[in-house]
Structure 1
Amino acid sequence: MIVWVDAVAADSAPLIFGLSLLERHLHGLRLMKPAPARVVIDLPAGAAEPKLGDKRLYRLPLEWRRSGEAYAARLGQMLAAAGKEPLLVLDAATLADSRLPASLAPRTSSTVVLSREAQDPAAVLFIAGDQAPVATALAANPADTAALGRQLVDAGSVPAFKDEEFNGFVRRLRRTLPYYLFTVDNAARAAKLERFLFWSNYKGSTDLFTRYVYPPLVWLMVGPLARWRIHPNWVTAVGIVLALGAIPLWADGWFITGFVMAYGMSVLDSVDGKLARLTFTDSVSGNYLDHGLDMVHPPLWYLSWAYGLGIATEGWGSPLGQGAIAIFVLYVIDRLVLKIYPQIFKRAFHTHSRMDGLVRSFIARRNISLPLFTVGYLIGLGREAFFLIVAWQAATTLYHAARTFWILCIEKAHRKAHAPVEVAAKRVKLD
């Protein structure tokens, strides 16, 4: 596949989370498998080649052209150069879903992707097979891809891309996201779209604190960090220091200081993932660091709480010590149980049904246990709060085990008919 990016009119387009719209298009192409054979980028006559902030983008087969000709003439030249090769037409003045190129590449017929917002003229054009309808439409001298796309759809010569043709399920986010395509013509519009992208990158099933309490803090941090081009791995590293640093403090009785560090880490745990996805800087090492920390630190936190509450003097044979051992064992069992479902269905357990997604918001996880213990400790009921958390972990483990057993029984009995129900995706409105 050949890709043509019209960047002639994109000089003044605002940045989105520190990246130009051209860079965002190129990241989408970088993620394609197989990669495009050619990526031709049209710049204004005499314009300097823009500097791309991510070296990985230079691995694409980039070709820079400079032209003062009209849009129709330049696209006509690309059609002639493409011949029978499929051609993807992008506009560097639009914000396009990075998943679209990979979704369009396997198609054998031409299609026009229009913005899902009726008042937005943005479009992406995929030309495969017969070029005649596009060549005919170019005779009317359309000003840009949006005008050409709308002209082709209105004439009935090229069909519009349908929502149901797009597989929007995002495994990492445990939710389904429809594709997006927007024109970005001013700073106010860019700011609104940043909000849209920010909320689109929240997981479909997550805990109450991550969903409702932390977002304002995460929003305040993600924007500046993206503009400063801070790699999310550095944010993860700070989170690791805070998460592990709180453990000896709690064990030694410094609970308030430990709480401050723990909540700082909890916020950063949301920041690094959002930053990585919004700036295309996610990496294998970053995922291992982030998810490895999430797996390891909670039981160590629980043990340090119990130790600081009295195990140091009462011993591990005391009720407090036995509770600490119990929650450690229950946590490990719970994590092992949750590994079963993804091995079969290739998706997270809490996407199986709406009920499972709802339960995920308040089950025994770090962001639920930490506030419970904090409140209990501050009102002088630290021990009681700890034993409540042990009981809640036991209930959570029992639910996951029983629910997994039930799902697998249904799958075994109705293997052909069974289909997991995705957590419903809510459409994020720009206003």
Structure 2
Amino acid sequence: MTTPAGMILGAGDVRIWGMTARERLRRTFARAKLAVVETAPASGGVVLALGGWVYDESLLATLAKRPDAVLVTDDGEAVAAHVPASQVAEASAALESGREPAGLQRLSLAELSYNEALRKREPPVLVRLTPENVRAVEARTFAGSYKGVTDVVTKYWWPVPARIVTRWCAIAGLRPNHVTFIGFLLVLAAFYLFWQGQFGWGLLCGWIMTFLDTVDGKLARVTLTSSAIGNVFDHGIDLIHPPFWWWAWYAGCFGIWAIGTDAAGIALWVILGGYVVQRVIEGIFMRRFGFHVHSWRAFDSFFRLITARRNPNLLILTPAWAIGQPVLGFYLVAIWTGLSLIVHAVQLVQAMAMPRERVVSWLSR
């Protein structure tokens, strides 16, 4: 099947996340690899969409793969359609007048409620944008950009302030990579400060970095400006830096950088090795079953809230520093990493012991 073109119907002048609804729709088409045209081509398919509406990316991407289909709201209102070039005029007139083009198969929101990339089930965004509901729609699209399975800090602490800062960044024209780069500088600052035993300042840099790590991803999703390079940059930093932070914390606590064979050295090996092995387990699970281990069962999604990753570990280290016991915090992180590794290992063994076709995400059922 050839890739259809995309056409935007109507003005769409109301602004959201620093751009007009029409510009947002143009970016949505572009991310679905649809060329935006002003007039119908001589042949092929065309995806028509009303410019005054805000669409989840998944909706138009799915519609682009469904010829002779019409996208309808929960109220039965037709807002987009995939038709042959020869039917563009007729279908455009129907959509702009609020009618459903005849002879098309309905595509409903209920079919598209599971977002595998963000590991959650919820109705995709599809709403008419007006000057009165801009903030509400921004809140809805921001919530739609959030992963359903993540750590406790990202899930419960950051959403409100991150939405505010994300909006500021969008209006100021900042791109996600700008935010990621600032976060990268804070990664380096936290590492240096931990190494020097300046744990309080290091934690401040670390927490700001974790906050910006939430902002950059949300900024990319709500402004539709994510890129392959930005994704590698962001996730590469996230993947690599935590072990260096914990090594620096060890150096700051004990005044040495070499990893010894005493209790502190063994604890550091547990932290570093446990982190790496857990990531390997996650990779094996993903490769074999095609989805993330933390999306398998309800317990696995719950455990992702607290498993020994960067943010939960910072939640251990911060109060330990606050009471003047950074060494205690270090050992507690080691213990929690060891326990988390055991849970991950059990998860993998359980999955491998089951028929492959029975291992499916509880969120997709």
Structure-1-length-normalised TM-score: 0.77
Q: In percent, how many aligned pairs have the same letter?
A: 27
Match of 1:178 among 123, 147, 161: 123
The reply on whether 1:274 has 2:218 as its aligned counterpart is: yes
CA deviation after TM superposition for structure 1 residue 386, in Å: 1.6
Structure 1 residues 367 and 175: CA distance shift in structure 2, 3 A: same
Distance 1:272 1:129, change over 3 A: closer
Secondary structure of the 2:214 match is helix
- Counterparts of 2:228 and 2:6 in 1: how far apart (Å)? 27
Matched, 1:377 2:321: yes
The unaligned stretches of length 5 or more in structure 1 are 42-62, 64-77, 426-431
Measured after TM superposition, the shift of residue 404 of structure 1 is 0.8
Deviations 1:262-313 (A, max 9, x none): 1110100001100111111111221121111111111111111122112439
Residue-by-residue CA offset, 1:36-70 (whole Å, 9 max, x unaligned): 5xx333xxxxxxxxxxxxxxxxxxxxx6xxxxxxx
Instruction: Select between 227-236 and 162-171 the one with higher mean Cα deviation.
Output: 162-171
Number of the residue aligned with 1:358: 302
Deviation at 1:181, TM superposition (A): 1.8
For 1:199 and 1:2, the matched residues in 2 are separated by 29
Show the 5 A alignment for 1:416-431.
417-423=357-363
Pick the aligned partner of 1:4 from 4, 7, 11. 7
Deviation at 1:82, TM superposition (A): 5.3
Cross-structure match for 1:125: 81
TM-superposed deviation, 1:392 = 0.6
| SS at structure 2 position matched to 1:4 | strand
* Larger-Rg structure: 1
Q: Is 1:239–2:239 an aligned residue pair?
A: no
Instruction: Rate the CA distance shift 1:313–1:236 in 2: closer, same or farther, 3 A.
Output: closer
Within 2, Cα distance between the matches of 1:218 and 1:400?
A: 30
Q: CA deviation at 1:191?
A: 1.0
Decide whether the 8 Å contact of 1:221 with 1:271 is kept in 2. Answer: yes
CA distance in 1, matches of 2:17, 2:349: 43
Q: Which amino acid aligns with 2:210?
A: S
2:27–2:224 contact (8 Å) kept in structure 1: yes
Q: Is 1:24 paired with 2:21? A: no
Give the RMSD, CA atoms, in angstroms: 2.7
1:115 is the counterpart of 2:73: yes
For normalisation by structure 2, the TM-score amounts to: 0.90
SS in 2 for 1:361: helix
| Equivalent residues of 1:302, 1:327 under 8 A apart | yes
1:143-186 Cα offsets, whole Å, 9 max, x none, are: x536122xx57xxx544323454474332x12234333211121
CA deviations 1:81-101 (Å, max 9, x no partner) are 656x33322111111222223
Corresponding residue SS for 1:148: coil
Find the counterpart in structure 2 of residue 148 from structure 1.
Answer: 99
Asked whether the 8 Å contact 1:16–1:190 carries over to 2, the reply is yes
Deviation at 1:325, TM superposition (A): 2.5
**Structure 2 spans left out of the alignment, 5+ residues:** none
- Name the structure with the higher helix share: 2
